[in-house]
Structure 1
């Protein structure tokens, strides 16, 4: 008789080696050598398919995790790029609505003979009938939901000495409308849905063996005697399970960093699971002096410790596992029912980051994940929000390692948001999913907060109560919120966060002028917010929009926007034309778009830094990246190209940063470190379009730890050109440059029409005028680069750029190519980009990339600016200049 032992966690790791390192007893990750086929194409009976010697020559070979379409793409079934133009529509196939088979054969080592064998399914999307060696061991009423682990005891059906055949008959999720259907992976207005709705195996499948008793899901919780961090009081928990039909006595043994040991006896009834805990009140050795503490990167080192647990029955070790964890304490407090402040190890932290989204076909790789986390870290962000799009252990381990906080929870806009429509079966899936995720994520150092709802609290109050009961029972160690928006929960009260928009273009001054606290200005904690589109560079656009469709009104262009209210870029485009002038070509449009992206995203993050802890406690850009090549809501594009938005973000969140307030005309310094800085100096210089200096001022400043401070205000200046520049510089007592920041400003003010604001934007009644930027006098640049420095698998170049002319070199963009006329080296980290240079100014830009991404070529540096004089500019043999594209 089949037996479901546990319904636990979402995915563990995609890497077999990684999982084996964590689990020292036998664990077989069923990753490769799967076969996949439509049940329409192969209509054989399940008992035949799930037995040895069944002919699968016509089936598709895949690796798990995989969705149906991801498997078909891997097998090159389609002769077109699904991302190009509107090709995604061509993937539609009636067979996707019918069941698909996923089949895998495996054997067990002789040493596992006689042990209890557990099949773990880490993410079935959406439901499955499961067969093993010709026997149906679970049906689709038991096995459904992508955010669960289903554990099946298959001991009675396993073949210890020969081949085993596992066959899953999977049916994709169905969502007939937004509020009813399956509790699956949802997208809302981000992108078109993939036609298989991500049906398939979206996380790991594994076989584990135990000798009677097993221990799993360790949790180490920290409490300090704040404000002191001298002693960490550690509480250790784990789940212990008896996999046999008879009562068992076991000893659970533990170690912290191989230095602190503890153990406890436990008695288990047949097939019983229970929690075992070790408290520092009883186990005095768990009061750790001078602990190695985990900090978010801007506050200190992301130190990780190691916990190891073993289950011993009689004289035998049944299993041993270990996990890394962080000694850290996450807290939060509510300020005036409006703003929630998050606190790490007793220190408040201004949260600034962006929202993660996985690939549209749920394709993942540890390499890609690390590339993206490195980009997030390079932008100086300190949090990633993952709204209902759970990742794997590899992702969270990277966040732990890089000191990156994570906010996650249930998703918006679809079935998850409407528990009032759930039936008993759907509610069971939801609760099992909640307990699964709690077990899985609770020990991650990077996890800061869990949200039980996104765009609103659970509409059925009993659902929120049940969630909270699960989370309390499983000892979730971090703050819990009912929602990502400002709606007051009838169960848990005010969230202290908001989702008041905007999601569409707004000008830089918007963020400081929402005085009513009704919209998306600088107050509270904005869990998702954005000034709208982020237009990729030309080199990326031509990878997914045909060259003959490179128009902002073409069907292909619109298809790669969002959906619903976000199906065009027209609000952004109108602002671009009014502010920068009508575009003369697609390249002219793209160049101007980078400037508009830069200033808008920089202003948003700066405003929250400027008002930190006063009215503002956090902000999350919607989004970090697109699940497919898109035109809206990203900081870098699908191809990992960092453009205007990226560098505006990076500039704004420098840990020690000088900025300009669009509202007050003040110059301020933002310090995001936990240390005071004295003897700093701020210098402001105002330039006209022709390069003449109209004003300059220098002032000393001392700034406290984790603070912002106004240094001085710029006065009214006569004789300014219609558009002009403000250059800000922050140096230390030795003259070392800490921050440099350029603004382009207009004598014509932006005017927002607040009365016509809606949930996603506030329109403008009048626009700033930057059209004069297209008539900046040309200037010459000198470009050279130092010899490359290779360290491990990384290569770094120092590129020196000097403005040898008499006018400001505006928006200088540096690219690193795979040889002359080659593609861009991606991903790439530039220390700065889209910079401006005063007459005679020199800047050194560092360029770093993984050596293999240069594909064996000699890097070639290409530089453009709005007003570059190519003829008079000079460069070495590995560098060149492009004509200034925005000039009409």
Structure 2
């Protein structure tokens, strides 16, 4: 048993509340039935507000967690949509700079009388005076910081019978973007800041009772005899607490799954908090043969095991805590100081994924979390990065379930990034937050790495040392690195990762050719955030947040829905689009061109990293995956969960067995992301001119190692092709089954980058590729048929689309609508989309969605294409069928 001497580890702790948690002590999350009001509207003192006889007149009913603005939105205080146009500016209110009250009445059962009662505040943003039953039990110097939990013993203040009233007087943070701001939730240049700076209650508040002693924070650490995975050597830790003033002799018991048990006697001094450890040396039953192993989804099943721990004094069990865990071992190593390679269960893994951002008002929905993570998983991503935007337990449990690894840590770019400016109080907040998060996240199998800094290592070296001391003492089982960028820490050395851009649009050729430039955004090292910039939503989403009179790509409202500062417009993207595809005549033509440009740019980024894995590249995170509000940049799907060009380019590039074109080498290659070797694969390339004529065909048989790559063959020079031409790639396995189809549109004139004028966020071009002849692409027809299988809660369609014309059908887009003229059913999963079809070619696209999202309508399957002949369909450039 190890006793902790660092008070910072004991004063603020997170409670893990997984799906499987149970407890024999009384446990209540104070979620619903809260009321909220500004001190400018009700000036009553806390001593009165926290009494049962107080009548909160005109207060707003809310559920926790909630921010101030989220609470006002839930109460329909505003008569406008804050996301439409520039309405967001209307949310600014001087009352937000004053404290707000959050009040909750609750009743304790008589059965808990005589037990220790603990109030745990899991995320107050930013500081609060806390009142209970007329008494102030903590003030704002004690209660601050959204990433720590304040544990308060309220045994003396609680009423065993009748109503208890908890009241928190919360002050929003001082702008966290400023160097001298508070250590709160920061957004940098992603979006406009909500005017309340997410002030409020941003995580759970709970009441727990304990019969003298308690146990919490299980940790199961795995060690294998690598490379063998035959036996898992498990070490179990937990935190035990004596809540009484008398010494206690207790028994801690554990059970893993249904058949592995262990126990230990522990002596606790008065009010002592201590760690208890079960080692596989001391308890040989913790050496588990043939274990159920947690793998990232590409490498195997994300198997979950179960642990249950209890603590008892005498014959009385005080509490039991149970949760899922993963038997897995994650390490990392540096390659030439430039690239950090992550290793899961002894296997290196090429990490490709996207960053995560919660809703701008911190509104959490378990349903939406699952919808979004299913989209990440559907894109074949294997990692989610959360830069200081810590989510709740449900989010991480979903990542555990879907086999998605998580990179997380502290954030840029304001107060968190400048510890040299912290006063004593902020340093306490930082260290207690680090302790809280380590306890909270350490046993979650999806958590892969913790970053002690984002855009740079902590400038104050004592801060990083203190972080590392906490993380070691609390047995953080995963790698830690000092920063998300390429800086060398004076404490921990090279990070082995980079964030050297780009963040703005660059052409596909960029990713395989930038290997030496100063800003180095090409396919080498581990890029923790990188992107070809804007992702323009489809027209159907644009009209939900940009008024039609502002619906053009240089309007003030358009720019408002970009980022801020450097990223406050889409000018670089627009210039490329006009030069490469032709100047659009209207917004719908712009959107069509944008989907093609989004598709090719994002696909090339992920393909480049996949092709060069473990040689020069070890990982890449698209900045970003989701948008916290309706935006035009940095997402793979939009705020309304609409998957468009970027989404399907990403999905295509990361399919587990993938055939691709190398822009740099003009060759066909294969990427295998599975731990299975494939022999006898056939890669086939066919080139079509704009008129649909076949100009070239070639194939070769190739083998590819497990998690490997293979070169197939070079393609001929484009001399005899039309100015713009199409390349169709197909990969079949040794049984003839099609494993990958991938189309490219190419030009005799390539993009040329001006490396000497590179900036930290982009590299400009001296000349652009020429796809303008796509505007005169010959018309073609589509034949569409479908099969439907409707279940009790979901519907599945298999849609067969056939190109009946003589030219290539370009950017064929399938939609599922709520009736013929209805909105899109969202979210929806398509097996593929924005596809190309050769003359006479048929493809089957699988579509699935939840029945509730169809809103009781007759679904309508609508197919559009860049060059669909009006005469071949029921309406202009579209063909649709009611999916009855």
If the length of structure 2 is used for normalisation, what is the TM-score? 0.97
Q: Which residue in 1 is equivalent to 2:511? A: 511
Between 1:662-671 and 1:4-13, the stretch displaced more is 4-13
Would you say the 8 A contact 2:125–2:145 is kept in 1?
yes
Quote the Cα distance in structure 2 between the aligned partners of 1:49 and 1:814.
Answer: 56
Q: Which residue in 2 is equivalent to 1:376? A: 376
Pairing 1:14-93 to 2, within 5 Å after superposition: 21-93=21-93
Aligned residues: 873
Quote the Cα distance in structure 2 between the aligned partners of 1:360 and 1:863.
Answer: 33
Pairing 1:161-240 to 2, within 5 Å after superposition: 161-175=161-175, 178-240=178-240
Q: Which residue in 1 is equivalent to 2:627? A: 626
Distance verdict in 2 for CA 1:628–1:28, change over 3 Å: same
1:8 paired to 2:12? yes
Which whole-Å deviations, capped at 9, do the CAs of 1:550-575 have from their partners, x for residues lacking one?
Answer: 01121111110000100000000000
Q: Which residue in 1 is equivalent to 2:105? A: 105
Quote the Cα distance in structure 2 between the aligned partners of 1:489 and 1:855.
Answer: 54
SS in 1 for 2:500: coil
Pairing 1:411-810 to 2, within 5 Å after superposition: 411-516=411-516, 518=518, 519-786=520-787, 788-791=788-791, 793-810=793-810
Would you say the 8 A contact 1:610–1:708 is kept in 2?
yes
Which whole-Å deviations, capped at 9, do the CAs of 1:485-514 have from their partners, x for residues lacking one?
Answer: 000000000010001100000000000111
SS in 2 for 1:156: coil
Quote the Cα distance in structure 2 between the aligned partners of 1:78 and 1:177.
Answer: 26
Quote the Cα distance in structure 1 between the aligned partners of 2:881 and 2:690.
Answer: 22
SS in 1 for 2:756: helix
Quote the Cα distance in structure 2 between the aligned partners of 1:4 and 1:183.
Answer: 17
Quote the Cα distance in structure 2 between the aligned partners of 1:413 and 1:333.
Answer: 27
SS in 1 for 2:369: helix
RMSD: 1.5
Deviation at 1:734, TM superposition (A): 2.2
Distance verdict in 2 for CA 1:641–1:177, change over 3 Å: closer
Quote the Cα distance in structure 1 between the aligned partners of 2:355 and 2:80.
Answer: 30
Distance verdict in 2 for CA 1:21–1:220, change over 3 Å: closer
Gaps spanning 5+ residues in structure 1: where?
883-888
Q: Which residue in 2 is equivalent to 1:243? A: 243
SS in 2 for 1:433: helix
Would you say the 8 A contact 1:818–1:858 is kept in 2?
yes
Distance verdict in 2 for CA 1:837–1:599, change over 3 Å: same
Would you say the 8 A contact 2:308–2:320 is kept in 1?
yes
Distance verdict in 2 for CA 1:199–1:641, change over 3 Å: same
Q: Which residue in 1 is equivalent to 2:854? A: 854
Quote the Cα distance in structure 1 between the aligned partners of 2:176 and 2:690.
Answer: 57
SS in 2 for 1:353: strand
Would you say the 8 A contact 2:186–2:414 is kept in 1?
yes
Would you say the 8 A contact 1:125–1:173 is kept in 2?
yes
SS in 1 for 2:488: coil
SS in 2 for 1:22: coil
Quote the Cα distance in structure 2 between the aligned partners of 1:780 and 1:823.
Answer: 24
Q: Which residue in 2 is equivalent to 1:870? A: 870
Q: Which residue in 2 is equivalent to 1:155? A: 155
Q: Which residue in 1 is equivalent to 2:3? A: none
Which whole-Å deviations, capped at 9, do the CAs of 1:44-83 have from their partners, x for residues lacking one?
Answer: 1111111012111310000000000000000000000000
Quote the Cα distance in structure 2 between the aligned partners of 1:329 and 1:510.
Answer: 35
Q: Which residue in 1 is equivalent to 2:4? A: none
Distance verdict in 2 for CA 1:10–1:390, change over 3 Å: farther
Would you say the 8 A contact 2:245–2:270 is kept in 1?
yes
Would you say the 8 A contact 2:176–2:415 is kept in 1?
no
If the length of structure 1 is used for normalisation, what is the TM-score? 0.97
Quote the Cα distance in structure 1 between the aligned partners of 2:15 and 2:511.
Answer: 38
Dislocated runs of 4+, deviation >4 Å: 3-6, 10-13, 18-21
Would you say the 8 A contact 1:96–1:172 is kept in 2?
yes
Quote the Cα distance in structure 2 between the aligned partners of 1:400 and 1:790.
Answer: 29
Would you say the 8 A contact 1:12–1:392 is kept in 2?
no
Deviation at 1:141, TM superposition (A): 0.4
Quote the Cα distance in structure 1 between the aligned partners of 2:88 and 2:719.
Answer: 56
Quote the Cα distance in structure 2 between the aligned partners of 1:625 and 1:411.
Answer: 17
Which whole-Å deviations, capped at 9, do the CAs of 1:121-175 have from their partners, x for residues lacking one?
Answer: 0000000000000000000000000000111000000000111000000000002
Deviation at 1:791, TM superposition (A): 4.0
